[in-house]
Amino acid sequence: MVENQSSPFITQIHLQRLQQLSRYYSLNIAATTDVQTLAEQLSFSERNIAKLMKTLASIGWISWKPGRGRGNKSEITLLDSFESALMSVLEQHCHKGHLSEAARYADLFGYEEMFRKKLPSWLTQAQESLKNLNTLVTLVPYSLPIMHPLWAYRSSSRLYIEAMFDTLLKYDNETGAIRPHLAHHYEFRENELWLRIRPDVCFHNGEKLTAQHVAKCIEDRVSKPHNYQILYRHILEVVAEGLWVVIKMSQRHESILHLLSEAHAPIYLDNPEQDIPYGTGPYALELSSEHHWILAKNPNYFSAGGFIDRAEYWTSDDADSSVQGHIVHHRCPASPSGGVDKISLQTGCDVIEFKHHQSELSMDEKAWIFHQAREFCRQQASDYIPIANSITGYHQNKGVFLYHPNQSKPTRPLRVCISGQTELRLKLIEHLRQQGAEIELFPLEHLKQTWIDFAVGGYVFPNNTVFGYYKWLLTSLAFTSCLSAEQQQAFLSIVDQLMLASDTEQDFLNELYRCEDWLIQNGVFVPLWRDSESYDVANSLHGLETDSAGILSLQKLWFDS
């Protein structure tokens, strides 16, 4: 078989020939044939048939007894099925650390799904080979996330956006200060922010970064509809002058610096060949498909890059709790299982958000759902899923109360969307049903429909949580879909006034909490429980630091020697 030390090197052609033979001959049943018949069946030259049969026999796939003399038939027996032989070849490639080659073979022969299911069980033996190749393998519970900085907004995109792209400025987690990055210097001149762009940076395709590139990215964020467009509302004009980029604003405020240092605000160059643009970051996208993508180290990175040479990511829906890849990212269970390193998120939580429309629920009905949901949270609360009293962790010590005297169980069916149908979110829906609510679930793509009554989802925040808090208030579903147009304008005006009136970040934070409490008291949203992430990690991997959203940083990971 494949493991035989005397076996020849197995190629794609060998597998194709075995696949062809499997169409004409049954497994483990001897059959007579001749060179002419085999040549026709394989579309192969008669002269090379004997050599091919000997090769397939030496591999161990067939038994071959050539006929002696003119007119004597040969005998062939298939000893291995094509599927079994292919899986053995794929497994051997994986054990050597050649995952991409194995994936290519699986794709070529139409066995992608089976390969993906078997991959986790093969990776344990492959870990050492992959480590020697300085290649990281991570199994993730999602398919290829959005990797365009303008459109990415889910937490699953964050690791890749931060690895592939750079921002103009960087937020220092320890000091809270804003540091230069792609812009090596910045200064305010009245209502203008001037940023001088580094002259030594190139995109992954080799094109040199210019101030014009930067200006276009910022202009796109001001003019193109996207999840965070409202945060750029104070920018009036962006001008490129030599190595300088000048951002002209309606009002000066330090929040512009936080905005330009956010993970959703990196600089990119559109790629005409695919939807994912070029970045300037420490890692470049080498390959992308729905269930498999690869990041490769950028050898020309202008700053301190990563330690890992290549990082492969594979979708794995049913990976068990034992380590298979170097990292296995699990859909977070309701309680920890053996071997899982469960990381509680410092900020962010699951929420119910009541959508605004003509026939929306009454305040009495919202109050009933509010109290039922909070009671469910109290019943389920544990060290791993604590009840949340605020969307952020800053105000966890403050209780949540809805000061509305009346409650009324909804009498009509409730139309509900769930973002990411986790076990706990589905349990909440079942709890509401048990209390007498009639609920009809709709797919997530219906979320924008005006007749949805409420959505159940969750939010996480980066380390710059004060700015993240501000961003959530103006870009979340609670603002965009749960307030009327008039309420949105009034709310936006209040936030702008608070921003200018607050002398310190702590003052601003306290005012933002008052805005969040107003949303709760007006039946806009209900905070539910804190979330967490869980990983299995190989002992050979180090640098496992997560941010407050539970996201691992690829740049900080390294293998022991």
CB-based contacts of 121, cutoff 8 Å, min separation 6: 324
| Nearest to 27, CA basis, from 90, 79, 73 | 79
pTM for this predicted structure: 0.84
Please tell me the predicted confidence (pLDDT) of residue 376: 97
DSSP state of 229: G
Torsions phi, psi for 314 (to 5 deg): -130, 135
Token match 């200018």: residue?
500
Token pair 């000997």 is found at: 54
Please report the DSSP string for 409-425 in residue order: ---SPEEEEESS--HHH
User: Which residue is listed with tokens 């604590």?
Assistant: 386
What pLDDT shows up at residue 491?
95
Query: Is residue 78 helix, strand or coil?
Result: strand
pLDDT of the residue at 551: 81
Q: Which among 429, 460, 454 is positioned nearest to 349, based on CA atoms?
A: 460
Q: What is the pLDDT of residue 4?
A: 42
pLDDT at 3: 42
| DSSP state string for 432-481 | HHHTT--EEEE-GGGTTSTT--EEEEEE---S-HHHHHHHHHHHSHHHHT
In this structure, what DSSP letter does residue 144 have? P
Nearest to 279 by CA among 288, 287, 270: 270
**Under a CB-based contact definition with an 8 Å cutoff, are residues 537 and 341 in contact?**
yes
Q: For residue 416, what pLDDT is reported?
A: 97
DSSP-derived secondary structure for 241-262:
ETTEEEEEESS--THHHHHHHS
Determine the Cα–Cα distance for residues 61 and 84; give it in Å rounded to an integer.
10
**How many beta carbons lie within 10 A of that of residue 434, not counting itself?**
10
The confidence score (pLDDT) of residue 320 equals: 54
d(CA 530, CA 99): 37
**Residue 80: left (phi > 0), alpha (psi -120 to 50), or beta?**
beta
Mean pLDDT by runs of 10 across the 561 residues of the chain is: 49 92 94 91 88 92 83 88 94 90 92 89 87 92 93 88 96 88 96 96 97 97 94 96 96 90 94 94 95 95 92 78 73 50 65 95 97 95 85 81 93 93 91 97 88 92 83 94 95 91 86 92 94 79 79 88 71
